[in-house]
Amino acid sequence: MSAPVDAPARAPLGRPSSRTRPPLLAIFLYTLRSCIPPRRWAAVIAACAGTVLFGLLARATFRNEASGFANVASEGIFGLMMPIATLIIGDAVLGAEVRAGTFHFSWRSPVSTWQLVVGRWLGGSLVALVTIVPATALSALVAGVPDAAGPALAASAVGSVAYVAIFVAIGCISRRTAVWALAFVFLIERLLGTALTGIAQLSPTWESRAIFVGLVDFDVPDRLIREGIPQGTGAIVRLLVVSVVALVVATWRMGHLRLGGASD
Amino acid sequence: MTTAPTPRGELAPDDPAFAPEATVRVDDVSVWYGQKVALSELSCSFGPGVTGLLGPNGAGKTTLMRSMTGLVPVNQGSILVEGRNPRRDRRVHGRMALVPEDEAVPSGLTARQFVRYIADLHRVDTREAPDAALSTVGLLDVADRRVDGFSKGMRQRTKIAAALVIGPQVLVLDEPLNGADPVQRLHLIDLFKQLGRQGRTVIVSSHVLSEVERLAERVIVLIHGRLAAAGGHRAIRDAMDDRPRHVLVRSTGSRQLASALVVLEGVAGVTVDGPRDGLVVQTLHARQLAVELPRVARDRDVRLLEVRALDDSLESLFRELVR
């Protein structure tokens, strides 16, 4: 062990050194390196595999492949696999770290809270964009509906990004991120969203469906078209607004976090 | 030494609970978790140099440290670090570092990546600072090994490096010597003392008095979330030594020994302890008894089989302090 030396000198506050990475980039890279452990990757990849299997199911079950994939994508992919995959990612990038007692290493820095939130969200979104999003497009190809791959890609990309933002916000509100995220998906979106259009308008599941339905150039079953919800690019805008609102809520809550240890 | 917290807003200049040039001021602070009160109307302050925060488990040391660093909000009162509220003003975190007691470290990162991440967040030059910090705690050789594979002591040192890399003016260390081997302990104690001599405010918690004695010039004792005592460690030690202590003495001649001990100065009473087959000596001067007992035994031709303090745990001493 070396002899004690002076504590390392630091750059004066407000005068960043040219050798530092911008904090937002540092948080983004940290999120990718540290927040998604192998077990989480395995769970996300399992959800991706499930997504591709839904494509096979559409091909095997329905005579009209396009219509069949539209049905399967709406119910199985946008309604089940995408929320599950993004829940695993969204919980990992913040909630799991808060519970593990390691988030304070990031929180206790002069970095503004919006950077902490956006850095995590960008990291989680990138993981979703390289996993569940291509899996959705692959599912369309496997189903034998290549024309649906583009719309599926767009719908799952926007939906995943919105979900990660919502789950990051939930992680800033409660330590039980997974429980509240499941309640959000299955009670609020699936149960209340089915009955109330007002809730469906703010739901990544329903809006992803609307993006997909609005962008495909083939006829989809009437039951997939929901009145009162914007479709196509209108739904994209709606979900982007939902994402921004979720990030604003997360930023506000981030400043009020109570960070106990792992044993608390 | 004090045993009573100063009322809110009244800072007595000669009160040992308050540092003359305070960088961290704790004013009438209470923190509770549901029904459990972790800190109760605590007032004290910390200034340049090393201050030991002493108390048994559950005394509120960790809660105080988490409150100081803004991780836990206070329910009542206020904490100011260099005049700023650590919950509201994020600039505080650029001047203050915490080494938590928790073993938890970010997974998947090497020691160098972890320390560099902290340096990046604090906008510290990352060319040399991370390696200098790791070298200070003796981890440069293993800087490219993953932190989550480290032993407890190595994790602790990695967290200390992550704290040092920002060059903090206020360094809060929660049981920093846990898991460290004797050589590392000496090294870390030297390091903390050196930081204190540089004019930084170093706050070190421990439940081991002897450890704090070696580290800190000034000690603050917490019990049940309240200020129990404050001052130099000698004053704390003397206060503890002057309390009645119970010592079990087992020997080959309890009766002869009892008659000799009872007349010694400082012995308040001697009782026969049947179940333990010995004597229980109540003394006001434990150190004196330790010197006298072998002489008395030799004079009476009695062989001592066992001498053991029955209430020598730190917690029992703390209890005496607040009685």
pLDDT tens-digit map of B20-56: 889 999 999 999 988 899 999 999 999 999 999 988 8
What pTM did the predictor assign?
0.82
pLDDT at A166 over 80: yes
pLDDT of residue A4: 40
Of B322 and B159, the structure prediction assigns the larger pLDDT to B159
Dump pLDDT digits (tens) for B193-231.
Answer: 999 999 999 999 987 777 888 888 899 989 889 998 888
Of B263 and B285, the structure prediction assigns the larger pLDDT to B263
Percent of the residues in chain A that have a pLDDT greater than 70, as a whole number: 91
Mean pLDDT of A58-77: 89
Which residues 24-83 of A are in CB contact (within 8 Å) with B?
Answer: 25-27, 29-30, 33-34, 37
pLDDT at B317 over 70: no
Positive or negative: CA dihedral B237, B241, B246, B248: positive
Closest CA to B133 of A153, A263, A6: A6
Mean pLDDT of B266-283: 84
Dump pLDDT digits (tens) for B95-134.
Answer: 999 999 888 899 999 999 999 999 999 999 767 899 999 9
pLDDT at A10 over 50: no
Tell me if B51 sits within 8 A of B216, measured CB to CB. Answer: yes
pLDDT of residue A222: 83
pLDDT of residue B245: 76
Mean pLDDT of A218-247: 90
pLDDT of residue B238: 67
Task: Give A-chain residues touching B187 at CB under 8 angstroms.
Answer: 1, 4
- A88: three-class secondary structure by DSSP: helix
Of A2, A109, A258, the CB nearest to B135: A2
Percent of the residues in chain A that have a pLDDT greater than 90, as a whole number: 72
Gyration radius of chain A's alpha carbons? 20
pLDDT of residue B240: 64
ipTM above 0.90, yes or no: no
Dump pLDDT digits (tens) for B82-96.
Answer: 999 999 999 999 999
Strand ranges of the sheet holding B36-46, from the earlier edge strand across to the other edge: B36-46, B24-33, B76-81
**Mean pLDDT across chain A:** 89
Task: Give B-chain residues touching A5 at CB under 8 angstroms.
Answer: 132, 135-136
Q: Determine whether B137 is exposed, middle or buried from the number of CB atoms within 10 Å of its CB (0-12, 13-18, 19+).
A: buried
pLDDT of residue B211: 80
Mean pLDDT of A19-33: 91
Q: B183 at the A interface (CB within 8 A)?
A: yes
Task: Give B-chain residues touching A100 at CB under 8 angstroms.
Answer: 104
Distance CA B100, CA B86 (A): 16
β-strand partners of B96: B170
Three-state secondary structure readout of chain B: CCCCCCCCCCCCCCCCCCCCCCCEEEEEEEEEECCEEEEEEEEEEECCEEEEEECCCCCCHHHHHHHHCCCCCCCEEEEEECCECCCCCHHHHHCEEEECCCCCCCCCCEHHHHHHHHHHHCCCCCCCHHHHHHHHCCCHHHCCCEHHHCCHHHHHHHHHHHHHCCCCCEEEEECCCCCCCHHHHHHHHHHHHHHHHCCCEEEEEECCHHHHHHHCCEEEEEECCEEEEEEEHHHHHHHHHCCCEEEEEEECCHHHHHHHHCCCCCEEEEEEECCCCEEEEEECCHHHHHHHHHHHHHHCCCCEEEEEECCCCHHHHHHHHHC
Task: Give A-chain residues touching B93 at CB under 8 angstroms.
Answer: 108-110
Q: A11 at the B interface (CB within 8 A)?
A: yes
Task: Give B-chain residues touching A97 at CB under 8 angstroms.
Answer: 106
Task: Give A-chain residues touching B167 at CB under 8 angstroms.
Answer: 7-10
CB contact under 8 A, B71 and A107: yes
Task: Give B-chain residues touching A254 at CB under 8 angstroms.
Answer: none
Mean pLDDT of A24-42: 94
| Neighbouring C-beta atoms of residue B42, cutoff 10 Å | 27
Of A4, A106, A107, the CB nearest to B136: A4
Distance CA A198, CA A181 (A): 19
- The CA distances from residue A52 to A39, A113, A185, A195, in Å, are 20, 37, 21, 29
| Neighbouring C-beta atoms of residue B199, cutoff 10 Å | 12
Mean pLDDT of A225-241: 90
pLDDT of residue B156: 93
**Mean pLDDT across chain B:** 86
- Cβ contacts of A154 within 8 Å, gap of 6 or more: A211, A212, A215, A236
Of B66, B121, B191, the CB nearest to A109: B121
Residue to mutate among B121, B126, B184, with most A CBs inside 10 A, is B121
User: Can you say whether residue B170 is alpha, beta or left, with left for phi > 0 and alpha for psi between -120 and 50 degrees?
Assistant: beta
pLDDT at B285 over 80: no
- Cβ contacts of B113 within 8 Å, gap of 6 or more: A33
Closest CA to A177 of A70, A255, A80, A96: A96
pLDDT of residue B315: 52
pLDDT of residue B269: 87
Mean pLDDT of A239-264: 88
pLDDT of residue B248: 87
pLDDT of residue B265: 81
pLDDT of residue B178: 85
Mean pLDDT of B152-172: 95
Dump pLDDT digits (tens) for B237-265.
Answer: 666 666 667 888 999 888 888 988 888 88
Q: What does the DSSP 8-state code read for residue A256?
A: T
Gyration radius of chain B's alpha carbons? 23
How many residues are recorded in chain B? 323
pLDDT of residue A16: 46
**What are the tokens at A3?**
């002899």
Dump pLDDT digits (tens) for A185-227.
Answer: 999 998 998 889 889 988 999 999 999 999 998 888 888 888 8
Strand B96-99 and strand B170-174: the pairing is: parallel
CB contact under 8 A, A34 and B109: yes
- What residue has token string 């000669």? B14
Confidence of residue A230 (pLDDT cuts 50, 70, 90): confident
- A193: three-class secondary structure by DSSP: helix
pLDDT at A119 over 70: yes
In chain B, whose CA is at the least distance from the CA of A33?
Answer: B108
Tell me which amino acid residue B177 is: L
